[in-house]
């Protein structure tokens, strides 16, 4: 039975907040692999600043050398709005019946989870691991619908996630890193150093292709 972690995002660009979260959750949830899934067109966010090809190339560089991490480009090849539910169904169709999937979601993203396309179906397809993102102020701002959803599926025992292939929500403590792609892009635009916010090979790529400079 394989246990697969999923981190979807814009990755505009990938940074250590993403990588450290994936590393810590892979360890705490005993996952075999973590798939990084760049979105083509995120339905609920402003469009990415650089092309899907660039974002995907940067994810590839960022995860290089970690045998547990993999790039999954299915949302880019599919095109159109990147609905998570479609991605999960497509992944499910490739897995064995006993394999489990855990989708990682930051507290900022979870706040609007009930606006995601067919959001109620998502929990039938995977588990959800919530991570508190610094400044995400998770519990206070969740609306009633999400609070009820959380109560229905929540477990404090991460071992529960190994007893079923989908259906649980857990909250995992990770090292808080106040890094965001938005802040990183801003540093580059202002000609400030972005070193130690993202791997050197990613920053070299940004430099070579003159990304985020205007």
Q: Which residues would be at the binding site for ligand ATP (CB under 6 A)?
A: 9-12, 17-18, 21, 105-106, 108-109, 131, 133, 177, 179-182
Task: Name which of 131 and 161 has its Cβ closer to ligand ATP.
Answer: 131
- In the complex, minimum distance from the CB of residue 98 to ligand ATP, in angstroms, rounded to a whole number: 26
Q: How far apart are CA 71 and CA 103, in angstroms?
A: 15
The helix, strand and coil proportions of the chain, stated in percent and rounded to the nearest 5, come to: 40, 15, 40
Task: Name which of 18 and 127 has its Cβ closer to ligand ATP.
Answer: 18
Q: How far apart are CA 120 and CA 100, in angstroms?
A: 18
- Sequence-distant (6+) residues with CB within 8 A of 28 are 158, 172
Q: How far apart are CA 80 and CA 168, in angstroms?
A: 29
- In the complex, minimum distance from the CB of residue 182 to ligand ATP, in angstroms, rounded to a whole number: 3
The residues with which 3 forms a beta bridge, in sequence order, are 100
Task: Name which of 163 and 182 has its Cβ closer to ligand ATP.
Answer: 182
- In the complex, minimum distance from the CB of residue 75 to ligand ATP, in angstroms, rounded to a whole number: 12
Q: Which residue is nearest to ligand ATP (CB)?
A: 106
- In the complex, minimum distance from the CB of residue 181 to ligand ATP, in angstroms, rounded to a whole number: 3
Q: How far apart are CA 164 and CA 213, in angstroms?
A: 46
Task: Name which of 1 and 189 has its Cβ closer to ligand ATP.
Answer: 189
């Amino acid at each position: 039975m394989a246990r697969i972690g999923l981190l979807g995002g814009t990755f505009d660009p990938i940074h250590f907040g993403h990588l450290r979260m994936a590393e810590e959750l892979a360890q705490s949830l005993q996952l075999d692999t973590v798939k990084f899934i760049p979105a083509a067109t995120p339905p609920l966010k402003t469009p990415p600043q650089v092309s899907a090809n660039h974002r995907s190339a940067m994810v590839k560089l960022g995860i290089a050398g970690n045998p547990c991490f993999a790039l999954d480009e299915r949302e880019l090849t599919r095109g159109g709005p990147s609905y998570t539910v479609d991605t999960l169904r497509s992944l499910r169709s490739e897995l064995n019946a006993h394999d489990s999937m855990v989708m990682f979601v930051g507290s900022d993203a979870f706040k609007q989870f009930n606006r995601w396309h067919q959001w109620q179906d998502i929990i039938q397809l995977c588990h959800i691991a919530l991570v508190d993102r610094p400044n995400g102020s998770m519990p206070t701002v969740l609306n009633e619908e999400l609070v009820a959803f959380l109560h229905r599926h929540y477990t404090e025992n991460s071992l529960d996630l190994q007893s079923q292939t989908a259906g649980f929500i857990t909250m995992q403590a990770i090292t808080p890193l106040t890094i965001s792609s938005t802040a990183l892009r801003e540093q580059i635009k202002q000609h400030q150093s972005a070193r130690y916010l993202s791997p050197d090979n990613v920053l070299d790529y940004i430099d070579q292709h003159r990304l985020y400079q205007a």
